[in-house]
Structure 1
Amino acid sequence: MISIAICDDILSQLEIVNIIVKEYIDEKMLDAEVYTFLHPDKLLMACETKRFHIYILDMVMPMINGVQLGVEIRRLDREAQIIYVTTATEFALDSFAANPLSYLIKPLDRQKLFNTLDLAISKINMSEEVTITVKTREGLRVLSNTSIACCERFGNTVRYLLTTGEIVESLTIRCSFSKHIEPLLRDKRFLQSHESFALNMSRVESLKEQGFILRGGTFVPVAKKQYTAVRNAYLDYRLGKGEQK
């Protein structure tokens, strides 16, 4: 399912964009959901636990402008499609800092937004949205790869830390940790940094010599012998060279 976030601090403008986006979804018969935010802080809080494929942002907002918001979103998710919809033409050049898909001027032209959304949708690789099924004491649990921040072998089980902070623990696994997490490692965002740890690189705040710090402060170690290879894999991902595994 495609997730679209709209952020505008003026309610009437937010509703206009929301209506047009929903008309687009209906016309194209897309499996999509729309989330609206009246304040950029609320959107950034939501980004801590949810991934959006498309962001439609106003430029002039309280506390943090659209460029700053876009740069922060880009730091959290380099693959997001960012669209600016604004009355402020003077920020067009500055907006390149966030690498937006388009910069549309209000009053919003419905067809221009439709065309831009067509382009945004074409750039979204929904094949990345996969799920894994984990056997737990409570029964089967289906997890999306985007909801997993990292996982760790814990004895003969595997603990999954979700982006919400929840921990899901599997039943005893009958194979190696590397074999167990193979479905995750097919996703270019995931990296095995240690014989007992794997992480979602889109959740990384920083890389230290001892390991990764994820958003929220979770530490994921890197095996000393693998540090150079792990560091290079992470840098390739951040630089956009990890498109294929």
Structure 2
Amino acid sequence: MTRHGKRSLRIAHLYPELLNLYGDSGNILVLRKRLEWRGIIPEVVEVHVDDRPSFADVDLVFIGGGSDREQKIVCDKLLAERAELKAFVEDGGALAAVCGGYQLLGESYLMGDEKVPGLSLVDLYTDRGDPRLISNIVVESRICEQPIVGYENHGGRTHLGPDVEPLGKVVYGHGNDGVSGFEGCLYHNVVGTYVHGPLFPKNPGVVDYLIARAMERKYGIDELEPLDDAVELSANKAMYDRLMAGEVEEQ
């Protein structure tokens, strides 16, 4: 038993039947295993369309990516729970949102020509542009030692408010808008990003950042027991090296 034993984290996986466009169930599998390997009990609660979620006893929220139709359904559902979700975020709750889920965090996003109200959890908004931003991507971020690697495919251009920190700097790919050189957002303990593929298996540092924030909020523990990440880091480095050497052809 590790020093984190007999502790648990409650994870809300929002609408997995709708938001699993980029293998997001793989993110939950990785999150679950990295908790179990440390002796922390993962309590994963799937929130479905007909459910009324409560975030009062949740430690970490995950929102995946989906098509425009699924994204709109989810946004309509979550707007009814916005006050409680906003309170969770402002209280330091850990939240990860990928691609379409990332866009939902802001004030608004465009679905075709329709401006759709978002959850307004973070000061950002998303409009659209041509062409779609499709690329492998590498991001340097303060939240982990290794570069964040993955894939992006989005027509949206996300613009951060003046007080919202980007997740990191793009060193390969497009990022939030293809112009600013920044990717994703960091707000309190919220991580929003266009990086998928899925995100967590290739980037253990991102997972551990979120786990650490959740453990700090719940138990006052801000340092995690290290794991043997040789395989994960080797895969991360191999992708980084190939991209930096120009060995990967874009689709």
- The structure number with the bigger radius of gyration is 1
TM-score (norm 2): 0.39
Between 1 and 2, higher relative CO (CA 8 Å, sep ≥ 6) is seen in: 2
Q: Which has the higher helix share?
A: 1
TM-score (norm 1): 0.39
